[in-house]
Each structure stands twice: as C-alpha cells, then as structure tokens.
Structure 1
Amino acid sequence: MRTSIGYAHARIGHFSEAEEQLLQALTLLRRLGSEVHEANALIALGVVHEEQDRYGEAKEHLERALHLHKRHHEKAGQAHALENLGWCHAHLGEYPEAVETCSAALKLFQDLNDRDGEADTLDSIGYTYAELGNHEQARTHYESALTLWRAMGNRYDEADVLTRIGDSYAASGDQQAAREAWQQALIIFDELVQPDAQLLRAKLERQQSC
C-alpha cells in the first residue's frame, strides 16, 4: 500500500512525500521478507531520485532491485531495473555502461512483448548516443521509439521524442529538419495543452532569429 502511495506522490511531483512512503514500505517489506515487492519499491525509489537528479543514489537502489529480481527470475522486473539503471549511467557520463545496460533491457522487453518498455529503452539509448555526439545512431533509436509510441497512440511521448529528434538534427547542423520535427511536436503539445508547448515555441523562435 505504501509503495502505491509513493508512486502516487511521485506522479504529481511530490518527491519528498514519495520518498518517505517508499522508505517506510521498504522497511516493512524487508521485515516481511518479500524480496520481489522490495525490488519493485526500490525501482520506484530509484525513479524518484532520478526525477530529482540524484543519479548516484538512484543507481544504488536500482542495482539492488536488479539483484533481487534476478534471484527470483522476474524478467519484467529485471527489464525495468535495467532500463532505469541505463538512464542513470547515461546521466552520470557512463555511456558504454548505459548502452550495454539498456541493450539488455531492450532484449527483455522485446521477449516480453512490452512495447512501452521497449520504446522507453530505445529512447534512453538514443539519448546516450546523442550525448556521445553520435546523432545518426541517436536518431535511429529515437525514430524506432517514435514508431512504437505512434502505434500505441501515446501522443505525449510521441511529441517528446520528436523534440529530441529535432534537437539531434539541430546539433548535426540540419536546421530545416530540426524545425520540421519541432513543429510536429508543437502541434501535439498544443493539442494536449501541455506546458512543453511554450518551451518548444520559444526554441523555434530562437532558431528563427538566428
């Protein structure tokens, strides 16, 4: 129950409350010896710390979660732990580890036919390649994620990855392709009445003024 409350607080940005509930849940789950539920709570806590840019702490929780899920042969849990762990590696500048970890997550998600997890992981790999300056590889992975999110009707993530595709084109010097991707994303953000629209509109205006 406290794990669910922690998730609820995290979804609305109440990270301190989420962390408090999840730490209480972990204490209880460890007392009960429920390792699979403990691993799930650790993943949730890792995500909360990721949202606060506390990647070192998140990494520790996710490594423990991965160990527990492996012990109990929980493939879905392993996949989610690996994907989030790869995201931590990328933000800590550990790029080879990020690609390796996310690639392992990707295979598990594909085996499980979990298209949402697959898309998230492709997006993470794309981000890692973008950070490495390999924008062609970044766009290959972003576009694969885009195809999946469009097929699932996930409009927000479709717009989000279109924004990153635009960023990648801009970093490669192709300003026209960047603008086209950003404009596609802006249409969706406007339709969804998302605050991201204003940030993207400002980016387009800055590009036009250059």
Structure 2
Amino acid sequence: MTAHRVLGHACSRMNRPDDALEHFNQALTLAGVAGDLNAQAYIHQGLAVLWAGQERHRKALEHAKHALRHYEMLDDPLTSADALNDVGWYAAHDGRFDEARAHCEAALRIFRLHEHHDGMANTLDSLGYIAHRTGEHGQALECYTQALAIIRMNRNALDEAGILEHLGDVHAALGERREAVTAWNAAYQGYRTQRRYQDAERLRQRLSR
C-alpha cells in the first residue's frame, strides 16, 4: 500500500498521470481492505491533486470530499480543517463559489481555534482567491494581506511567493499597476530563489507584457 501511494505521488509530480492513477487506485484498494481510514484519506488527497493537475476540477473535488469524510471519521480537527480547505479550493476552481467559501470559512474557524498559523495562511489564500474570482477585490486584498503577514511572521518563504503573486493579481484587477508590479517582482525573485524556474518564467512573461 505505502509503496503504491509513494509511487503515485512520484508519478504525479513527474507528469505521468496514467501511471499515477494506477498506483493510487491500487493503494486505495489495499487501504480499504486494511480499513486504514487515514491512508485512504491521504490517497484521496493525492488523487485530488492529480486530477486538478489535469484541469479535471470536478474529479478533484470528488476525491477531496472523500478525504474530508475519512478525516472527520478519525475525529482529527486539524486534518479535517485541511481537507475542508481542499474542498473549498477545488470547489472554487469548479465555479462553486458559495460552497467553496462555506468550506474555507469552516476550515479557518478551526485553524484559528487551534492557532495553526500555516493552516490559517493557506485558508486565507483560498478565501482571497474566491473573493477575487467573484469580483470582491477589496475582500481579496484583505485576505491575501492577512495571509502574507502570517507567512512572514512564521518565516515560511516557500508559500510567500505564491501569495505575493496572487496579491499582485488583485492589485492589477483594481487598476493599481505599480503595486501589482511590485508584488509580482517580489514573487518572481522568490520563485527564482526557490529554483521554481517554471513559475518564475511564467511570471516573467506576465511582467514583460
């Protein structure tokens, strides 16, 4: 089970979706036989990432909901909150914004209750995306600014670049060109530092336009 799960994640990262799907499905079958709810939830999360990478957001949402149900049965509030945020994120990408916001707000309440800063930042990032997509740019700006403050307080440089890029998107939508370019340049430097060259090149092309 573990070997198939690890291979599934590896194939997913290597952009080999057919191989990833085969390994994840085998891992899921074995986890079901063993009655391992935690493993099943984790595999469903991997499948959600896999389908999202193929732009199959509805399939990703289905697996995220399976993961959430398993974590809720385990009565672990933080993993449940993480899964709630996942459901909200994939629902937003499927255009289900009311459902997305409800799940992310539920996740944020749990993360705040437990003072889980990374979870708070990730969920605020999701809520910022939802607000941006629904035209609530002021709310999006507030969410991203809060997420960025938490990330910087905890010195989580890995997530900082992505949030800066999103912040730039909102400034651009508000017609604040200088602020957008400043945020995007900072995100670009962050991607370069982290050797995320594909993200850096994508952003460089946006800046050049």
Matching residue within 152, 156, 167 for 1:165 = 167
| Paired residues for 1:9-48 under 5 Å | 9-48=11-50
Shift, 1:165, TM fit: 0.8
1:98-149 Cα deviation digits (max 9, x unpaired): 1110111122223344322222111111001000011111111111211222
1:62-115 Cα deviation digits (max 9, x unpaired): 222222222221223311221111011101111111111011112222334432
| Paired residues for 1:48-197 under 5 Å | 48-195=50-197, 196-197=199-200
Report whether the alignment pairs 1:203 with 2:189: no
Greater Cα offset, 159-168 or 15-24: 15-24
Task: Indicate how the Cα distance of structure 1 residues 156 and 46 shifts in structure 2: closer, same or farther if over 3 A, else same.
Answer: same
Q: Is the 8 A contact 1:46 1:62 kept in 2?
A: yes
Residue 202 of structure 2 aligns with an amino acid whose one-letter code is L
Cα RMSD, aligned residues only: 1.8
Task: Indicate how the Cα distance of structure 1 residues 145 and 34 shifts in structure 2: closer, same or farther if over 3 A, else same.
Answer: same
| Structure 1, unaligned runs of 5 or more | none
Residue 137 of structure 1 aligns with an amino acid whose one-letter code is Q
Greater Cα offset, 43-52 or 125-134: 43-52
Q: Is the 8 A contact 1:30 1:38 kept in 2?
A: yes
Alpha-carbon distance between aligned partners in 2 of 1:48 and 1:110, rounded to the nearest angstrom? 29
Greater Cα offset, 181-190 or 82-91: 181-190
Aligned positions, number: 206
Greater Cα offset, 121-130 or 62-71: 62-71
For the residue of structure 2 that corresponds to 1:173, the secondary structure is coil
Greater Cα offset, 8-17 or 90-99: 8-17
Shift, 1:159, TM fit: 1.4
Residue 22 of structure 2 aligns with an amino acid whose one-letter code is E
Q: Is the 8 A contact 1:22 1:45 kept in 2?
A: yes
For the residue of structure 1 that corresponds to 2:135, the secondary structure is coil
| Structure 2, unaligned runs of 5 or more | none
Alpha-carbon distance between aligned partners in 2 of 1:111 and 1:42, rounded to the nearest angstrom? 26
Residue 126 of structure 1 aligns with an amino acid whose one-letter code is G
Q: Is the 8 A contact 1:47 1:84 kept in 2?
A: no
Residue 186 of structure 1 aligns with an amino acid whose one-letter code is Y
Q: Is the 8 A contact 1:126 1:139 kept in 2?
A: yes
Q: Is the 8 A contact 1:40 1:77 kept in 2?
A: no
Task: Indicate how the Cα distance of structure 1 residues 67 and 149 shifts in structure 2: closer, same or farther if over 3 A, else same.
Answer: same
Alpha-carbon distance between aligned partners in 2 of 1:23 and 1:114, rounded to the nearest angstrom? 32
What's the TM-score, normalizing by structure 2? 0.89
Alpha-carbon distance between aligned partners in 2 of 1:118 and 1:86, rounded to the nearest angstrom? 14
Residue 193 of structure 1 aligns with an amino acid whose one-letter code is R
